[in-house]
Structure 1
């Protein structure tokens, strides 16, 4: 198998606990790119906090942000955008208020954390997040969302639930990028640690889970690499990509 594209989650995967890319990860990515391998960042983050990492790594491919709600080129050109309807956003806010959860809400312009804009109209909404201190409440809200809404549910941590529009996920965005580049998914390696990574891990020819990944992510992966604080991304690239 010859890997032609690597798609990397950021938090808990590429980045360590200090939100930095280790020198070993940087070197492995640089060597992969020198072999002609495309490197794509695939994150739940907003473009504003993803692009600086892409710039630091001198990437020149695509960026998947907001769990697949947007696709960008590394030079800042929007390629694709999929939003959540205004009515769904209003209902998610009502659910947050009902259960008194933490929350954040992402528009194309910015992120609101534990605050709601005065007017929801006139904005394009990408993602809604619930934060929990209580696992029982988290599971209750998940079941309520699953039962009442046709939305894409995932998480980026065991303490949250992330909500995107139906069918919007990192795997769907990755497939669009592969079509643009003429690369088959069997020639892709992906790496991640959370529920928002599972579908892209399952879709790829080689799906990698981090040592620190949630157990369901490890179960979905082809291989488990090292911890994100121990340059696990570099370990995976060295094993599966570098020749």
Structure 2
């Protein structure tokens, strides 16, 4: 089989632990692009937090964001959005508003919806500090993202859901693993949900059919490609579907066990150039010949 589309997760795969896009991985994706392979970034992130990396890559990338809920073309145009069902969202909000009370926010294909702008800024500040930004840089980024960008909306979630508001996904964030597991158990009682994780400190909530794997299958139909000609790589629970469905499934050395179990190959870690090793294993130069 010939690889026609390469899909990569971002955090924990394409990016190192400090959220940096390394030159080695940039060159790997450039190599794939130069060989005529479509490149897709598949991430739990919303579009706004992916955009800064696109300039560094400098190649056209298809985008699967919000853990498979939103699909965009290389120009950023929305091609498809998968929303939580109305009644399901109402039940999700009710569950999230019962103890244990954990931070959460939701997104559609444009905005992020928050109960508290202050809590969201604290959340972003903590995330940005992991990327080696100074306290001042992290604080400025948090303020700019939440207050100045125009991309955040403060809502009463109960009213929002009851009045027909739509969300592509929600994410619950907490360092309390026991509380997250309890919240997961509460949400598992609600029908038509897909629950997954992209890190040890979060819980992702989507429609039951919304996965990275199904998003890639949709994109393949759009591009008239076969999933057997897709190579996909990831590291966490939310990547398992695309690794399993791709003709060439890869997991990083730092990946969770469930991802490794579905992979044909295990690369080095995200800190050592996982995409470079993936492209090397695929032997694209030989394929092109």
Q: Which residue is equivalent to 1:90?
A: 90
- Note if 1:117 corresponds to 2:159: no
Which residues of 2 match residues 30-179 of structure 1 at below 5 A? 30-98=30-98, 99-112=100-113, 115=116, 117-118=155-156, 120=160, 121=163, 123-179=165-221
Distance 1:211 1:190, change over 3 A: same
* Cα pair 1:104 1:113 within 8 Å, conserved: yes
* Cα pair 2:78 2:109 within 8 Å, conserved: no
- Once the two structures are superposed, residues 141-175 of structure 1 have per-residue CA deviations (whole angstroms, 9 ceiling, x without a partner) of 22332233221111111221101112011111101
Q: Which residue is equivalent to 2:254?
A: 212
Deviating more after overlay: 37-46 vs 93-102: 93-102
After TM superposition, give the deviation of residue 122 of structure 1 in Å.
6.2
After TM superposition, give the deviation of residue 227 of structure 1 in Å.
1.0
Deviating more after overlay: 232-241 vs 29-38: 232-241
Please report the TM-score for the alignment, with normalisation by the length of structure 1: 0.92
Q: Which residue is equivalent to 2:20?
A: 20
Distance 1:129 1:221, change over 3 A: same
- Once the two structures are superposed, residues 175-230 of structure 1 have per-residue CA deviations (whole angstroms, 9 ceiling, x without a partner) of 11111222211111101111111000000011111111112111221111111111
Q: Which has the larger radius of gyration?
A: 2
Q: The residue matched to 1:125 in structure 2 has which SS?
A: coil
Deviating more after overlay: 49-58 vs 153-162: 49-58
Q: Which residue is equivalent to 2:284?
A: 242
After TM superposition, give the deviation of residue 102 of structure 1 in Å.
2.2
Distance 1:143 1:122, change over 3 A: closer
* Cα pair 1:3 1:241 within 8 Å, conserved: no
Give the number of the structure whose residues are more often helix, by fraction: 2
Q: The residue matched to 1:230 in structure 2 has which SS?
A: coil
- Once the two structures are superposed, residues 35-67 of structure 1 have per-residue CA deviations (whole angstroms, 9 ceiling, x without a partner) of 111111111111111233233212324211111
* Cα distance in 2, alignment partners of residues 128 and 153 from structure 1: 10
Deviating more after overlay: 196-205 vs 49-58: 49-58
Name stretches of at least 5 consecutive residues in structure 2 with no aligned partner: 117-153
Q: The residue matched to 2:192 in structure 1 has which SS?
A: coil
Name stretches of at least 5 consecutive residues in structure 1 with no aligned partner: none
